Structure 1
Amino acid sequence: MAGRSAPTGRRIRVATELRKLRERSGLTATEAARLHGIGQGQLSNIEAARFGVSGERLRAMAQNYECSDHAFVEALVDMVKDRKRGWWSEYQELLPMSLLDLAELEHHAHRLRGAITAHIPGLLQNADHAREIFRQHVPEIPPSDVEHRVSFRMKRQGVLRGAEPTPYQALIHEAALHTEVGGSGTARSQLQHLLDMSEQDHITIQVIPFKAGAIPGSGQSIYYAYGPVPELDTVHLDQSHGLAYLDAEIQLHNYRTLFSRIEDAALSPEDTRDLIHHIGQHL
Protein backbone atom coordinates (compact mmCIF):
# COMPACT_ATOMS: atom_id res chain seq x y z
CA MET A 1 0.00 0.00 0.00
CA ALA A 2 1.43 3.41 -0.97
CA GLY A 3 2.70 5.85 1.65
CA ARG A 4 0.66 8.81 2.72
CA SER A 5 0.55 11.71 0.30
CA ALA A 6 -2.90 13.08 1.19
CA PRO A 7 -3.29 15.51 4.11
CA THR A 8 -4.08 14.08 7.54
CA GLY A 9 -7.57 14.29 8.97
CA ARG A 10 -6.28 16.80 11.49
CA ARG A 11 -4.96 19.17 8.82
CA ILE A 12 -8.19 18.80 6.86
CA ARG A 13 -10.15 19.83 9.96
CA VAL A 14 -8.05 22.98 10.42
CA ALA A 15 -8.56 23.85 6.76
CA THR A 16 -12.31 23.27 7.06
CA GLU A 17 -12.57 25.53 10.10
CA LEU A 18 -10.64 28.32 8.36
CA ARG A 19 -12.98 28.12 5.38
CA LYS A 20 -16.00 28.26 7.73
CA LEU A 21 -14.57 31.36 9.43
CA ARG A 22 -14.08 33.09 6.09
CA GLU A 23 -17.60 32.27 4.93
CA ARG A 24 -19.09 33.51 8.21
CA SER A 25 -17.19 36.77 7.81
CA GLY A 26 -18.87 37.29 4.45
CA LEU A 27 -15.57 37.56 2.57
CA THR A 28 -14.99 35.97 -0.80
CA ALA A 29 -11.78 34.03 -1.37
CA THR A 30 -10.43 36.91 -3.44
CA GLU A 31 -11.21 39.49 -0.74
CA ALA A 32 -9.79 37.31 2.02
CA ALA A 33 -6.58 36.60 0.13
CA ARG A 34 -6.03 40.31 -0.44
CA LEU A 35 -6.66 40.98 3.24
CA HIS A 36 -4.12 38.31 4.25
CA GLY A 37 -1.54 39.56 1.76
CA ILE A 38 -1.38 36.27 -0.14
CA GLY A 39 -2.52 35.05 -3.52
CA GLN A 40 -5.95 33.56 -4.03
CA GLY A 41 -4.34 30.31 -5.16
CA GLN A 42 -2.42 30.05 -1.89
CA LEU A 43 -5.60 30.65 0.12
CA SER A 44 -7.43 28.00 -1.91
CA ASN A 45 -4.63 25.52 -1.20
CA ILE A 46 -4.79 26.31 2.53
CA GLU A 47 -8.58 25.82 2.59
CA ALA A 48 -8.19 22.56 0.65
CA ALA A 49 -5.53 21.35 3.16
CA ARG A 50 -2.94 21.05 0.39
CA PHE A 51 -0.84 23.69 2.19
CA GLY A 52 -0.28 23.87 5.92
CA VAL A 53 -0.43 27.08 7.91
CA SER A 54 1.63 28.37 10.83
CA GLY A 55 0.13 29.31 14.19
CA GLU A 56 1.00 32.97 13.61
CA ARG A 57 -0.70 33.06 10.20
CA LEU A 58 -3.72 31.23 11.60
CA ARG A 59 -4.15 33.83 14.34
CA ALA A 60 -3.84 36.61 11.76
CA MET A 61 -6.44 34.98 9.51
CA ALA A 62 -8.84 34.56 12.43
CA GLN A 63 -8.38 38.22 13.35
CA ASN A 64 -9.07 39.28 9.76
CA TYR A 65 -12.24 37.19 9.89
CA GLU A 66 -13.22 39.02 13.12
CA CYS A 67 -13.35 35.79 15.14
CA SER A 68 -13.42 36.74 18.82
CA ASP A 69 -13.53 33.18 20.20
CA HIS A 70 -10.02 33.07 21.71
CA ALA A 71 -10.31 29.50 23.05
CA PHE A 72 -11.38 28.20 19.64
CA VAL A 73 -8.56 29.99 17.80
CA GLU A 74 -5.92 28.79 20.27
CA ALA A 75 -7.23 25.23 19.94
CA LEU A 76 -6.71 25.49 16.19
CA VAL A 77 -3.21 26.90 16.77
CA ASP A 78 -2.39 23.92 18.98
CA MET A 79 -3.51 21.62 16.18
CA VAL A 80 -1.13 23.15 13.65
CA LYS A 81 1.77 23.34 16.10
CA ASP A 82 1.63 19.65 16.95
CA ARG A 83 3.44 18.08 14.02
CA LYS A 84 4.94 15.06 15.76
CA ARG A 85 4.54 11.77 13.94
CA GLY A 86 2.22 9.50 15.90
CA TRP A 87 2.67 5.75 16.36
CA TRP A 88 0.08 5.18 13.61
CA SER A 89 2.52 6.48 10.99
CA GLU A 90 4.28 3.11 11.27
CA TYR A 91 1.28 1.61 9.47
CA GLN A 92 1.06 4.07 6.58
CA GLU A 93 2.41 1.50 4.12
CA LEU A 94 0.13 -1.24 5.47
CA LEU A 95 -3.35 0.09 6.21
CA PRO A 96 -5.92 2.45 4.65
CA MET A 97 -5.39 6.12 5.47
CA SER A 98 -8.87 6.35 6.99
CA LEU A 99 -7.72 4.04 9.80
CA LEU A 100 -4.69 6.23 10.47
CA ASP A 101 -6.99 9.26 10.69
CA LEU A 102 -9.15 7.37 13.21
CA ALA A 103 -6.15 6.62 15.43
CA GLU A 104 -5.08 10.27 15.20
CA LEU A 105 -8.59 11.42 16.14
CA GLU A 106 -8.66 9.12 19.17
CA HIS A 107 -5.18 10.15 20.27
CA HIS A 108 -6.09 13.85 20.44
CA ALA A 109 -9.65 13.48 21.76
CA HIS A 110 -10.42 14.80 25.24
CA ARG A 111 -13.27 12.31 25.64
CA LEU A 112 -14.76 9.48 23.56
CA ARG A 113 -18.27 8.07 23.25
CA GLY A 114 -19.42 5.19 21.09
CA ALA A 115 -22.80 3.65 20.33
CA ILE A 116 -22.86 0.38 18.46
CA THR A 117 -25.45 -2.32 17.73
CA ALA A 118 -23.78 -5.06 15.71
CA HIS A 119 -20.54 -5.85 17.54
CA ILE A 120 -18.19 -5.02 20.40
CA PRO A 121 -16.44 -1.62 19.96
CA GLY A 122 -12.88 -1.84 18.66
CA LEU A 123 -11.41 -0.15 21.74
CA LEU A 124 -12.92 -2.92 23.90
CA GLN A 125 -12.07 -5.96 21.76
CA ASN A 126 -9.41 -8.45 22.77
CA ALA A 127 -6.99 -9.73 20.14
CA ASP A 128 -8.78 -13.04 19.43
CA HIS A 129 -12.14 -11.32 18.93
CA ALA A 130 -10.60 -8.67 16.65
CA ARG A 131 -8.76 -11.32 14.62
CA GLU A 132 -11.97 -13.21 13.93
CA ILE A 133 -13.76 -9.99 12.90
CA PHE A 134 -11.03 -9.21 10.36
CA ARG A 135 -11.08 -12.78 9.02
CA GLN A 136 -14.72 -12.24 8.06
CA HIS A 137 -13.96 -9.08 6.06
CA VAL A 138 -15.30 -8.80 2.52
CA PRO A 139 -13.28 -8.65 0.33
CA GLU A 140 -11.04 -11.15 2.09
CA ILE A 141 -7.95 -9.78 3.84
CA PRO A 142 -4.68 -11.75 3.49
CA PRO A 143 -3.53 -13.37 6.77
CA SER A 144 -0.53 -11.03 7.08
CA ASP A 145 -2.79 -7.99 6.73
CA VAL A 146 -5.17 -9.44 9.33
CA GLU A 147 -2.31 -9.46 11.83
CA HIS A 148 -1.37 -5.88 10.92
CA ARG A 149 -4.95 -4.81 11.61
CA VAL A 150 -5.08 -6.70 14.89
CA SER A 151 -1.84 -5.10 16.14
CA PHE A 152 -3.08 -1.67 14.99
CA ARG A 153 -6.37 -2.13 16.89
CA MET A 154 -4.52 -3.18 20.04
CA LYS A 155 -2.26 -0.10 19.82
CA ARG A 156 -5.31 2.14 19.37
CA GLN A 157 -6.42 0.96 22.80
CA GLY A 158 -3.44 2.80 24.28
CA VAL A 159 -5.69 5.85 24.68
CA LEU A 160 -7.45 3.93 27.46
CA ARG A 161 -4.21 3.22 29.32
CA GLY A 162 -1.39 5.24 30.87
CA ALA A 163 -1.19 8.00 33.45
CA GLU A 164 -3.90 10.15 31.79
CA PRO A 165 -6.25 7.81 29.92
CA THR A 166 -9.02 9.25 27.77
CA PRO A 167 -12.52 8.99 29.35
CA TYR A 168 -14.59 6.58 27.27
CA GLN A 169 -18.27 5.67 27.29
CA ALA A 170 -19.48 2.69 25.26
CA LEU A 171 -23.17 2.01 24.60
CA ILE A 172 -23.47 -1.55 23.27
CA HIS A 173 -26.63 -3.35 22.18
CA GLU A 174 -27.36 -6.63 23.96
CA ALA A 175 -27.37 -8.43 20.60
CA ALA A 176 -23.60 -7.94 20.31
CA LEU A 177 -23.07 -9.75 23.63
CA HIS A 178 -24.92 -12.86 22.42
CA THR A 179 -22.97 -13.14 19.15
CA GLU A 180 -20.41 -15.93 19.56
CA VAL A 181 -17.59 -14.42 17.50
CA GLY A 182 -14.90 -17.08 17.16
CA GLY A 183 -16.90 -19.67 19.11
CA SER A 184 -18.07 -19.92 22.70
CA GLY A 185 -14.56 -19.93 24.23
CA THR A 186 -13.51 -16.73 22.46
CA ALA A 187 -16.89 -15.16 23.23
CA ARG A 188 -16.58 -15.91 26.95
CA SER A 189 -13.07 -14.45 26.99
CA GLN A 190 -14.33 -11.31 25.26
CA LEU A 191 -17.16 -10.87 27.75
CA GLN A 192 -14.73 -11.24 30.65
CA HIS A 193 -12.55 -8.63 28.99
CA LEU A 194 -15.54 -6.27 28.91
CA LEU A 195 -16.14 -6.87 32.61
CA ASP A 196 -12.49 -6.18 33.41
CA MET A 197 -12.50 -2.96 31.37
CA SER A 198 -15.75 -1.80 32.97
CA GLU A 199 -14.08 -1.79 36.40
CA GLN A 200 -11.78 1.07 35.38
CA ASP A 201 -12.92 4.49 36.57
CA HIS A 202 -12.50 6.23 33.20
CA ILE A 203 -14.45 3.60 31.24
CA THR A 204 -18.25 3.42 31.31
CA ILE A 205 -19.94 0.50 29.57
CA GLN A 206 -23.73 0.38 29.27
CA VAL A 207 -25.81 -2.20 27.47
CA ILE A 208 -28.93 -1.33 25.49
CA PRO A 209 -31.24 -4.25 26.38
CA PHE A 210 -33.55 -5.99 23.94
CA LYS A 211 -36.50 -4.70 25.95
CA ALA A 212 -35.54 -1.10 25.11
CA GLY A 213 -37.17 -1.66 21.73
CA ALA A 214 -36.50 0.80 18.92
CA ILE A 215 -33.68 3.26 19.55
CA PRO A 216 -32.33 6.15 17.47
CA GLY A 217 -29.26 5.42 15.39
CA SER A 218 -29.79 1.66 15.27
CA GLY A 219 -28.04 -0.08 12.41
CA GLN A 220 -24.92 2.09 12.43
CA SER A 221 -21.77 2.45 14.49
CA ILE A 222 -21.45 5.98 15.89
CA TYR A 223 -18.34 7.42 17.50
CA TYR A 224 -18.16 10.87 19.08
CA ALA A 225 -14.76 12.44 19.79
CA TYR A 226 -14.75 15.52 22.00
CA GLY A 227 -12.20 18.17 21.03
CA PRO A 228 -10.61 20.86 23.21
CA VAL A 229 -13.64 23.07 22.48
CA PRO A 230 -17.13 21.95 21.37
CA GLU A 231 -16.67 23.45 17.91
CA LEU A 232 -13.85 20.95 17.27
CA ASP A 233 -15.83 17.84 18.20
CA THR A 234 -16.04 15.15 15.51
CA VAL A 235 -18.58 12.44 14.69
CA HIS A 236 -17.15 9.27 13.13
CA LEU A 237 -19.47 6.85 11.32
CA ASP A 238 -18.35 3.33 10.40
CA GLN A 239 -20.45 2.34 7.40
CA SER A 240 -20.38 -0.55 4.92
CA HIS A 241 -18.95 1.70 2.20
CA GLY A 242 -16.25 3.21 4.44
CA LEU A 243 -15.61 5.69 7.20
CA ALA A 244 -17.24 9.13 7.37
CA TYR A 245 -16.40 12.16 9.50
CA LEU A 246 -18.94 14.86 10.35
CA ASP A 247 -18.24 18.24 11.95
CA ALA A 248 -20.99 20.66 10.94
CA GLU A 249 -22.53 22.43 13.94
CA ILE A 250 -26.03 21.04 13.38
CA GLN A 251 -24.64 17.51 12.90
CA LEU A 252 -22.71 17.69 16.18
CA HIS A 253 -25.82 18.94 17.98
CA ASN A 254 -27.98 16.18 16.51
CA TYR A 255 -25.56 13.43 17.47
CA ARG A 256 -25.13 14.77 21.00
CA THR A 257 -28.91 14.59 21.30
CA LEU A 258 -28.94 11.10 19.81
CA PHE A 259 -26.35 9.88 22.32
CA SER A 260 -28.38 11.28 25.20
CA ARG A 261 -31.47 9.40 24.01
CA ILE A 262 -29.55 6.14 23.58
CA GLU A 263 -28.02 6.54 27.05
CA ASP A 264 -31.51 6.99 28.50
CA ALA A 265 -32.49 3.62 26.99
CA ALA A 266 -29.40 1.79 28.27
CA LEU A 267 -28.92 -0.11 31.51
CA SER A 268 -26.85 1.38 34.31
CA PRO A 269 -23.16 0.37 34.44
CA GLU A 270 -23.91 -1.91 37.41
CA ASP A 271 -26.84 -3.67 35.70
CA THR A 272 -24.72 -3.92 32.56
CA ARG A 273 -22.00 -5.86 34.40
CA ASP A 274 -24.64 -8.21 35.83
CA LEU A 275 -26.04 -8.90 32.35
CA ILE A 276 -22.60 -9.48 30.78
CA HIS A 277 -21.74 -11.89 33.59
CA HIS A 278 -25.06 -13.72 33.13
CA ILE A 279 -24.61 -14.10 29.38
CA GLY A 280 -21.05 -15.34 29.83
CA GLN A 281 -22.20 -18.05 32.23
CA HIS A 282 -24.63 -19.44 29.67
CA LEU A 283 -22.33 -19.59 26.64
Structure 2
Amino acid sequence: MAHETRSPTVRRRQLASALRELREERGLSIEQVVGHLDWHPTKLSRFETARRAIQPSDVRALLDVYQVDRADRDNLLVLAREARQRDWWHAYGQAVPEGFKVYLGLEAAASSLQIYESEFIPGLVQTEDYIREVHRATLVDADDQDIEQRVTVRLTRQKLLTRENAPKLWMVVNEAVIRRVVGGPLIMRAQLERLLEATKLPNVTLQVLPFTAGAHPSMDGAFHVLGFEPADPSVVYIEYHTGTLYLEKAHEIGRYLQKFDHLRATALSVSDSCSLIKQIAHDLRE
Protein backbone atom coordinates (compact mmCIF):
# COMPACT_ATOMS: atom_id res chain seq x y z
CA MET A 1 0.00 0.00 0.00
CA ALA A 2 1.47 3.39 -0.96
CA HIS A 3 2.50 5.31 2.13
CA GLU A 4 0.78 8.52 1.08
CA THR A 5 -2.64 6.87 0.88
CA ARG A 6 -2.54 5.18 4.27
CA SER A 7 -4.93 7.01 6.53
CA PRO A 8 -4.61 7.15 10.33
CA THR A 9 -7.59 4.78 10.49
CA VAL A 10 -5.70 2.11 8.54
CA ARG A 11 -2.54 2.70 10.55
CA ARG A 12 -4.59 2.14 13.72
CA ARG A 13 -5.86 -1.17 12.31
CA GLN A 14 -2.31 -2.21 11.42
CA LEU A 15 -1.04 -1.31 14.87
CA ALA A 16 -3.91 -3.16 16.55
CA SER A 17 -3.21 -6.27 14.47
CA ALA A 18 0.52 -6.13 15.25
CA LEU A 19 -0.08 -5.78 18.99
CA ARG A 20 -2.55 -8.66 19.01
CA GLU A 21 -0.09 -10.87 17.10
CA LEU A 22 2.71 -10.02 19.54
CA ARG A 23 0.56 -11.01 22.51
CA GLU A 24 -0.51 -14.27 20.88
CA GLU A 25 3.07 -15.13 19.83
CA ARG A 26 4.09 -14.77 23.49
CA GLY A 27 1.29 -17.08 24.53
CA LEU A 28 -0.26 -14.44 26.78
CA SER A 29 -3.95 -13.90 27.45
CA ILE A 30 -5.49 -10.44 27.68
CA GLU A 31 -5.97 -11.02 31.43
CA GLN A 32 -2.28 -11.82 31.90
CA VAL A 33 -1.14 -8.69 30.06
CA VAL A 34 -3.48 -6.29 31.86
CA GLY A 35 -2.40 -7.89 35.13
CA HIS A 36 1.15 -6.71 34.44
CA LEU A 37 -0.03 -3.20 33.59
CA ASP A 38 -2.90 -2.77 36.05
CA TRP A 39 -5.31 -2.03 33.17
CA HIS A 40 -8.92 -3.05 32.77
CA PRO A 41 -9.26 -5.92 30.24
CA THR A 42 -11.60 -3.81 28.12
CA LYS A 43 -8.83 -1.29 27.51
CA LEU A 44 -6.53 -3.80 25.82
CA SER A 45 -9.40 -5.45 23.99
CA ARG A 46 -10.38 -2.12 22.42
CA PHE A 47 -6.77 -1.42 21.46
CA GLU A 48 -6.49 -4.80 19.74
CA THR A 49 -9.71 -4.29 17.78
CA ALA A 50 -8.80 -0.70 16.80
CA ARG A 51 -11.93 0.59 18.51
CA ARG A 52 -9.93 2.93 20.70
CA ALA A 53 -6.99 5.18 19.86
CA ILE A 54 -3.83 4.18 21.68
CA GLN A 55 -1.28 6.56 23.17
CA PRO A 56 2.40 5.96 22.31
CA SER A 57 3.03 5.61 26.05
CA ASP A 58 0.59 2.69 26.17
CA VAL A 59 2.32 1.12 23.16
CA ARG A 60 5.66 1.38 24.98
CA ALA A 61 4.17 -0.32 28.02
CA LEU A 62 2.90 -3.22 25.90
CA LEU A 63 6.20 -3.55 24.05
CA ASP A 64 7.98 -3.79 27.40
CA VAL A 65 5.69 -6.64 28.44
CA TYR A 66 6.23 -8.39 25.09
CA GLN A 67 10.02 -7.76 25.23
CA VAL A 68 10.13 -6.47 21.64
CA ASP A 69 13.58 -5.78 20.13
CA ARG A 70 14.74 -2.26 19.31
CA ALA A 71 14.08 -2.27 15.53
CA ASP A 72 10.52 -3.60 15.75
CA ARG A 73 9.87 -1.36 18.74
CA ASP A 74 10.86 1.79 16.83
CA ASN A 75 8.70 0.82 13.83
CA LEU A 76 5.64 0.23 16.00
CA LEU A 77 6.12 3.51 17.85
CA VAL A 78 6.28 5.39 14.54
CA LEU A 79 3.06 3.62 13.51
CA ALA A 80 1.48 4.61 16.83
CA ARG A 81 2.29 8.28 16.27
CA GLU A 82 0.98 8.19 12.69
CA ALA A 83 -2.23 6.52 13.88
CA ARG A 84 -3.00 9.55 16.05
CA GLN A 85 -2.87 12.08 13.21
CA ARG A 86 -6.09 13.80 12.24
CA ASP A 87 -7.62 13.57 8.78
CA TRP A 88 -9.37 16.32 6.82
CA TRP A 89 -12.90 15.33 7.92
CA HIS A 90 -12.24 16.07 11.60
CA ALA A 91 -12.63 19.76 10.75
CA TYR A 92 -16.33 19.15 10.08
CA GLY A 93 -17.13 18.00 13.61
CA GLN A 94 -20.60 16.55 14.06
CA ALA A 95 -21.30 16.77 10.33
CA VAL A 96 -19.40 13.47 10.13
CA PRO A 97 -20.94 10.83 12.45
CA GLU A 98 -18.40 9.05 14.63
CA GLY A 99 -18.99 5.65 13.04
CA PHE A 100 -18.61 7.08 9.55
CA LYS A 101 -15.19 8.57 10.34
CA VAL A 102 -13.88 5.03 10.39
CA TYR A 103 -15.33 4.44 6.92
CA LEU A 104 -13.76 7.63 5.55
CA GLY A 105 -10.38 6.51 6.82
CA LEU A 106 -10.74 3.10 5.23
CA GLU A 107 -12.11 4.52 1.99
CA ALA A 108 -9.16 6.93 1.72
CA ALA A 109 -6.73 4.01 1.89
CA ALA A 110 -8.64 1.41 -0.14
CA SER A 111 -7.25 0.08 -3.40
CA SER A 112 -10.68 -1.19 -4.48
CA LEU A 113 -14.30 -0.47 -3.66
CA GLN A 114 -17.09 -2.89 -4.54
CA ILE A 115 -20.44 -1.28 -3.82
CA TYR A 116 -24.01 -2.50 -4.08
CA GLU A 117 -26.66 0.17 -3.58
CA SER A 118 -30.36 -0.56 -3.49
CA GLU A 119 -31.91 2.89 -2.90
CA PHE A 120 -29.68 5.74 -4.06
CA ILE A 121 -26.75 6.66 -6.27
CA PRO A 122 -23.42 5.83 -4.55
CA GLY A 123 -22.05 8.85 -2.69
CA LEU A 124 -18.81 9.07 -4.65
CA VAL A 125 -20.70 9.90 -7.86
CA GLN A 126 -23.58 12.03 -6.57
CA THR A 127 -24.17 15.59 -7.75
CA GLU A 128 -24.35 18.42 -5.24
CA ASP A 129 -28.12 18.86 -5.68
CA TYR A 130 -28.75 15.13 -5.36
CA ILE A 131 -26.66 14.97 -2.18
CA ARG A 132 -28.64 17.83 -0.69
CA GLU A 133 -31.99 16.22 -1.49
CA VAL A 134 -30.96 12.85 -0.04
CA HIS A 135 -29.80 14.49 3.20
CA ARG A 136 -33.00 16.52 3.47
CA ALA A 137 -35.04 13.35 3.13
CA THR A 138 -33.01 11.21 5.54
CA LEU A 139 -31.94 13.76 8.17
CA VAL A 140 -35.34 15.07 9.14
CA ASP A 141 -34.06 16.98 12.21
CA ALA A 142 -31.00 18.55 10.56
CA ASP A 143 -30.87 22.30 9.92
CA ASP A 144 -29.63 23.88 6.69
CA GLN A 145 -26.12 24.48 8.05
CA ASP A 146 -25.69 20.85 9.04
CA ILE A 147 -26.92 19.68 5.65
CA GLU A 148 -24.57 22.02 3.79
CA GLN A 149 -21.62 20.76 5.82
CA ARG A 150 -22.52 17.19 4.93
CA VAL A 151 -22.80 18.18 1.27
CA THR A 152 -19.29 19.65 1.44
CA VAL A 153 -17.92 16.52 3.09
CA ARG A 154 -19.36 14.28 0.39
CA LEU A 155 -18.11 16.49 -2.44
CA THR A 156 -14.64 16.48 -0.87
CA ARG A 157 -14.73 12.68 -0.69
CA GLN A 158 -15.31 12.51 -4.43
CA LYS A 159 -11.77 13.77 -5.15
CA LEU A 160 -10.74 10.24 -4.27
CA LEU A 161 -11.72 8.97 -7.73
CA THR A 162 -9.41 11.29 -9.66
CA ARG A 163 -6.37 11.38 -7.38
CA GLU A 164 -3.11 9.62 -8.14
CA ASN A 165 -3.41 5.93 -7.19
CA ALA A 166 -7.19 6.22 -7.19
CA PRO A 167 -9.03 3.08 -6.09
CA LYS A 168 -10.89 0.87 -8.54
CA LEU A 169 -14.60 1.45 -8.03
CA TRP A 170 -17.10 -1.18 -9.16
CA MET A 171 -20.74 -0.27 -8.53
CA VAL A 172 -23.84 -2.39 -8.95
CA VAL A 173 -27.03 -0.42 -8.43
CA ASN A 174 -30.59 -1.65 -8.27
CA GLU A 175 -32.76 -0.42 -11.15
CA ALA A 176 -34.85 1.43 -8.55
CA VAL A 177 -31.82 3.67 -7.88
CA ILE A 178 -31.84 5.12 -11.39
CA ARG A 179 -35.63 5.28 -11.69
CA ARG A 180 -36.40 6.95 -8.36
CA VAL A 181 -36.75 10.66 -9.17
CA VAL A 182 -34.93 12.46 -6.37
CA GLY A 183 -35.43 16.23 -6.23
CA GLY A 184 -37.48 16.41 -9.41
CA PRO A 185 -36.77 15.68 -13.09
CA LEU A 186 -34.06 18.33 -13.58
CA ILE A 187 -31.97 17.25 -10.61
CA MET A 188 -32.41 13.57 -11.39
CA ARG A 189 -31.50 13.97 -15.05
CA ALA A 190 -28.34 15.85 -14.10
CA GLN A 191 -27.53 13.06 -11.64
CA LEU A 192 -27.93 10.37 -14.26
CA GLU A 193 -25.71 12.33 -16.63
CA ARG A 194 -23.10 12.65 -13.88
CA LEU A 195 -23.29 8.89 -13.37
CA LEU A 196 -22.60 8.32 -17.06
CA GLU A 197 -19.66 10.74 -16.95
CA ALA A 198 -18.15 8.81 -14.05
CA THR A 199 -18.12 5.61 -16.11
CA LYS A 200 -15.62 7.26 -18.48
CA LEU A 201 -13.00 7.18 -15.75
CA PRO A 202 -10.65 4.20 -16.25
CA ASN A 203 -11.06 3.09 -12.63
CA VAL A 204 -14.88 3.16 -12.53
CA THR A 205 -17.25 0.36 -13.56
CA LEU A 206 -21.05 0.54 -13.29
CA GLN A 207 -23.76 -2.06 -13.75
CA VAL A 208 -27.51 -1.93 -13.18
CA LEU A 209 -29.33 -4.84 -11.57
CA PRO A 210 -32.62 -4.90 -13.50
CA PHE A 211 -36.02 -5.58 -11.99
CA THR A 212 -36.23 -8.59 -14.29
CA ALA A 213 -33.42 -10.24 -12.29
CA GLY A 214 -36.02 -11.06 -9.66
CA ALA A 215 -34.89 -12.17 -6.21
CA HIS A 216 -31.15 -11.91 -5.59
CA PRO A 217 -28.65 -12.54 -2.73
CA SER A 218 -28.67 -8.94 -1.49
CA MET A 219 -32.40 -8.48 -1.00
CA ASP A 220 -31.47 -7.58 2.58
CA GLY A 221 -29.78 -4.34 1.57
CA ALA A 222 -26.73 -2.40 0.44
CA PHE A 223 -23.11 -3.09 1.35
CA HIS A 224 -19.57 -1.99 0.52
CA VAL A 225 -16.48 -4.19 0.32
CA LEU A 226 -13.28 -2.21 0.75
CA GLY A 227 -10.18 -3.96 -0.51
CA PHE A 228 -6.58 -3.16 0.34
CA GLU A 229 -3.12 -4.27 -0.69
CA PRO A 230 -2.20 -7.82 0.42
CA ALA A 231 -0.86 -6.65 3.78
CA ASP A 232 -4.30 -5.49 4.91
CA PRO A 233 -7.48 -7.62 5.00
CA SER A 234 -10.66 -6.40 3.34
CA VAL A 235 -13.52 -4.84 5.27
CA VAL A 236 -17.28 -5.05 4.67
CA TYR A 237 -19.23 -1.91 5.57
CA ILE A 238 -22.98 -1.92 6.21
CA GLU A 239 -24.95 1.15 7.21
CA TYR A 240 -28.31 1.16 8.97
CA HIS A 241 -30.53 3.91 10.36
CA THR A 242 -28.95 4.20 13.79
CA GLY A 243 -25.38 3.11 13.14
CA THR A 244 -22.78 1.27 11.10
CA LEU A 245 -21.34 -2.22 11.02
CA TYR A 246 -17.83 -3.29 10.02
CA LEU A 247 -17.17 -6.95 9.25
CA GLU A 248 -13.55 -8.13 9.16
CA LYS A 249 -13.64 -11.92 9.67
CA ALA A 250 -12.46 -13.91 6.67
CA HIS A 251 -15.67 -15.95 6.33
CA GLU A 252 -17.82 -12.78 6.50
CA ILE A 253 -15.79 -11.04 3.83
CA GLY A 254 -15.95 -14.18 1.70
CA ARG A 255 -19.74 -14.25 1.90
CA TYR A 256 -20.06 -10.66 0.74
CA LEU A 257 -17.54 -11.06 -2.05
CA GLN A 258 -19.58 -14.04 -3.22
CA LYS A 259 -22.71 -11.88 -3.05
CA PHE A 260 -21.08 -9.20 -5.15
CA ASP A 261 -19.87 -11.70 -7.73
CA HIS A 262 -23.43 -13.00 -8.06
CA LEU A 263 -24.83 -9.46 -8.38
CA ARG A 264 -22.49 -8.40 -11.16
CA ALA A 265 -23.03 -11.69 -12.98
CA THR A 266 -26.80 -11.12 -12.83
CA ALA A 267 -26.70 -7.40 -13.63
CA LEU A 268 -26.86 -5.88 -17.10
CA SER A 269 -23.58 -5.54 -18.96
CA VAL A 270 -21.74 -2.25 -18.65
CA SER A 271 -22.88 -1.09 -22.10
CA ASP A 272 -26.50 -2.16 -21.55
CA SER A 273 -26.48 -0.46 -18.13
CA CYS A 274 -25.32 2.81 -19.69
CA SER A 275 -27.93 2.51 -22.42
CA LEU A 276 -30.69 2.10 -19.85
CA ILE A 277 -29.47 5.11 -17.86
CA LYS A 278 -29.34 7.20 -21.04
CA GLN A 279 -32.90 6.19 -21.88
CA ILE A 280 -34.20 7.10 -18.44
CA ALA A 281 -32.37 10.44 -18.55
CA HIS A 282 -33.87 11.12 -21.98
CA ASP A 283 -37.37 10.34 -20.72
CA LEU A 284 -36.93 12.89 -17.92
CA ARG A 285 -36.59 15.62 -20.56
CA GLU A 286 -40.15 15.06 -21.74
Decide: shared fold, TM above 0.5: yes
| Aligned residue identity for 2:238 | L
Contact 1:29 1:44 (8 Å CA) reproduced: no
Alpha-carbon distance between aligned partners in 2 of 1:262 and 1:20, rounded to the nearest angstrom: 35
Residue 171 of structure 2 is matched in structure 1 by 170
CA RMSD between the two structures: 3.4
Residue 3 of structure 2 is matched in structure 1 by none
CA shift, 1:10, in A, is 4.4
| Aligned residue identity for 1:175 | A
Within 5 Å, give how 1:12-23 maps onto structure 2: 13-14=13-14, 17=17, 21=21, 22=23
Q: Any gaps of 5 or more consecutive residues in structure 1? A: 1-7, 66-73
Alpha-carbon distance between aligned partners in 1 of 2:174 and 2:77, rounded to the nearest angstrom: 36
Counterpart of 2:226 in 1: which secondary structure? strand
Residue 201 of structure 2 is matched in structure 1 by 200
Alpha-carbon distance between aligned partners in 2 of 1:94 and 1:182, rounded to the nearest angstrom: 22
Alignment of 1:232 with 2:214, yes or no, is no
Residue 54 of structure 2 is matched in structure 1 by 52
Alpha-carbon distance between aligned partners in 1 of 2:83 and 2:272, rounded to the nearest angstrom: 41
Identity level (%): 27
**TM value normalised by structure 1:** 0.80
CA shift, 1:252, in A, is 1.1
Deviations 1:84-141 (A, max 9, x none): 4221121125432223222111111111111011111111111000100011124421
Contact 2:12 2:83 (8 Å CA) reproduced: no
Counterpart of 1:41 in 2: which secondary structure? coil
CA shift, 1:279, in A, is 1.1
Residue 5 of structure 1 is matched in structure 2 by none
Alpha-carbon distance between aligned partners in 2 of 1:79 and 1:192, rounded to the nearest angstrom: 44
Alpha-carbon distance between aligned partners in 1 of 2:76 and 2:176, rounded to the nearest angstrom: 39
CA shift, 1:20, in A, is 5.5
Q: Any gaps of 5 or more consecutive residues in structure 2? A: 1-7, 68-74
| Aligned residue identity for 1:154 | L
Contact 1:15 1:47 (8 Å CA) reproduced: no
**TM value normalised by structure 2:** 0.79
CA shift, 1:241, in A, is 2.3
Residue 102 of structure 2 is matched in structure 1 by 101
Counterpart of 2:216 in 1: which secondary structure? coil
CA shift, 1:154, in A, is 0.6
Within 5 Å, give how 1:39-118 maps onto structure 2: 39=37, 41=39, 45-49=43-47, 50=52, 52=54, 81=82, 83-118=84-119
Alpha-carbon distance between aligned partners in 2 of 1:25 and 1:257, rounded to the nearest angstrom: 36
**Structure 1 43/122 Cα, relative in aligned 2: closer, same or farther at 3 Å?**
same
